[in-house]
Amino acid sequence: MTKRPDPPIPMATETPENDTAQNDEAATAAGSNPERPESLDSLDNPESLAELRKKAEERELYRAEFLRAKADLDNYLKRSRRDRPTWEEQAERRVLRDLLPIVDNLERALPHASHGKAQASHLEEGVRLTLQMFFQTLKDHGVEEISAEGEVFNPELHEAVAEVDVPDLPTGRIVEVLEKGYQHRDVVLRPSRVKVARNVKDSSGASASGSGGPGAAQD
């Protein structure tokens, strides 16, 4: 029998050492290391560590400032709630103290009322001066009279108690003030009670009156 030849044995392929070295150098040059996270690479950089420390210090500084400002605000609110009744009482006492001289002048004027006509002029003058003093005191505290007579009716400042037929004035014009109104800066303390003109010849005024103008009983 003829003996068959043995099959050839395959030769193992080996990677040349120079090719492996080249691959490692390429990976190092690219800055990638499969076994080391990139976040840890920055820790080896002194400049990156200094930047991280700086940001951490700034964070703690801002946090401390925020906590300090919050504590100051809380303390302010507590003091305000505690001291508010005292402030209101002091404001009331100031107004009352300024009214006392007016009371004094009125008390001095009363005895002159029983001395007949001879003292009437002195009494009238004393009351007039006292009234001027009172108005000045109100003005010093921010209280002013609401302008009304001759003005156009304003429901935010005036209260119409009657409408009067006046042919010479347009509808809605104030013709008479029955009770003066006053306001403290921008807040109305009491509206002026007034009579308002109604011109029957004024068609625009008639329509306005019929659609909700200054409603009041006719005088």
Q: Tell me how far apart the alpha carbons of residues 199 and 164 are, in angstroms, rounded to a whole number.
A: 8
Rounded CA-CA distance 191/144 in Å is: 12
Residue 121 forms part of a structural domain: yes
Report the pLDDT value the prediction gives residue 191, as an integer from 0 to 100: 92
Q: Which residues of the chain have pLDDT under 50?
A: 15, 30-32, 205-212, 216-219
> Which residue, 112, 141, 170, sits at the end of a domain?
141
Q: Which pLDDT score is estimated for 108?
A: 75
Q: What is the pLDDT of residues 167-216, one digit of tens each?
A: 888 999 999 999 989 998 888 988 999 999 998 776 554 444 444 456 54
In a domain, 185, yes or no: yes
Cross-sheet strand order for the sheet of 143-145: 143-145, 182-184, 187-190
Residues 152 and 205 in one domain: yes
Last residue of a domain, one of 118, 141, 164: 141
Q: 115 and 176 share a domain? A: no
Do 120 and 74 lie in a common domain?
A: yes
Task: Say which CATH number the domain at 173 has.
Answer: 2.30.22.10
- Position 6 scores a pLDDT of 60
Q: Within this chain, do residues 135 and 65 fall inside the same structural domain, yes or no?
A: yes
pTM: 0.51
Q: Is residue 7 part of a domain?
A: no
Same structural domain, 128 and 57 = yes
Amino acid present at 99: L
Could you tell me if 120 and 53 lie in one domain?
A: yes
Residues 195 and 178: beta-carbon distance below 8 Å: yes
Q: Do 102 and 132 fall into the same domain? A: yes
Last residue of a domain, one of 126, 141, 156: 141
Hey, what's the torsion of the CAs at 111, 114, 120, 122, to 10 degrees? -20
Q: What is the pLDDT of residue 47?
A: 76
Is residue 5 one of the residues assigned to a domain?
A: no
Sheet holding 158-165, edge to edge: 174-179, 192-198, 158-165, 217-218
In this prediction, residue 137 carries a pLDDT of 87
Domain that holds residue 82: 46-141
Same domain, 170 and 202: yes
Q: How many separate domains does the chain show? A: 2
Answer yes or no: do 131 and 195 share one domain: no
The contacts of residue 109 (CB under 8 Å, 6+ apart) are 123, 126, 127, 130
pLDDT at res. 174: 94
The reply to whether 193 and 137 lie within a common domain is no
**2 within some domain:** no
Any idea what the CATH number is for the domain that residue 131 is in?
3.90.20.20
Closest CA to 140 of 95, 97, 89, 87: 95
Q: Is residue 131 part of a domain?
A: yes
Residues 6+ apart with CB under 8 A from 170: 197, 199, 202, 205
